Amino acid sequence: MRDEEQYDRYRADARVLTAIGACLTPQLGRVTVRLPHELAEAAVAAWQRDEPAGPGSGGPESAGPHALRDHAAELALIGLAISERGRREGADVVVDLDIAAAGAAVRVAEQEP
């Protein structure tokens, strides 16, 4: 019973987080970022790569492979933004990224040891 109550609290927390996101979304747009050219090229290559739809045929996808596929999808979306709006400035590429895409990259970087 205690676990059920705990997860009820987590569901309530998730609803509050969703409401906060709904409040923030109209306030946030894009953020201008500067990336080394090599990283920008790798992101564009991820966008241009043909991947089979969904997870492989090895059965249900576990959390680890699912997270890897999500990270690859976020990278591809950054590559799309770079291919559409990126501009070369010296050794870097400057692009206006959706705040969610920038946040996804930062979250993944913070998870690395």
Task: Give the tens place of pLDDT for each residue, 4-42.
Answer: 889 999 999 999 999 999 999 899 999 999 999 999 999
Assigned domain for 5 exists: no
The enclosing H or E element of 93 equals: strand 92-98
Range of the domain at 90: 28-111
Please give the C-alpha separations between residue 104 and each of 2, 46, 52, in angstroms, as whole numbers.
33, 16, 23
Assigned domain for 1 exists: no
**For residue 1, what pLDDT is reported?**
57
Assigned domain for 14 exists: no
Q: Are 16 and 82 spatial neighbours (Cβ–Cβ below 8 Å)?
A: no
User: What pTM was estimated for this model as a whole?
Assistant: 0.79
Assigned domain for 4 exists: no
Assigned domain for 23 exists: no
Report the percentage of the chain scoring pLDDT > 70: 91
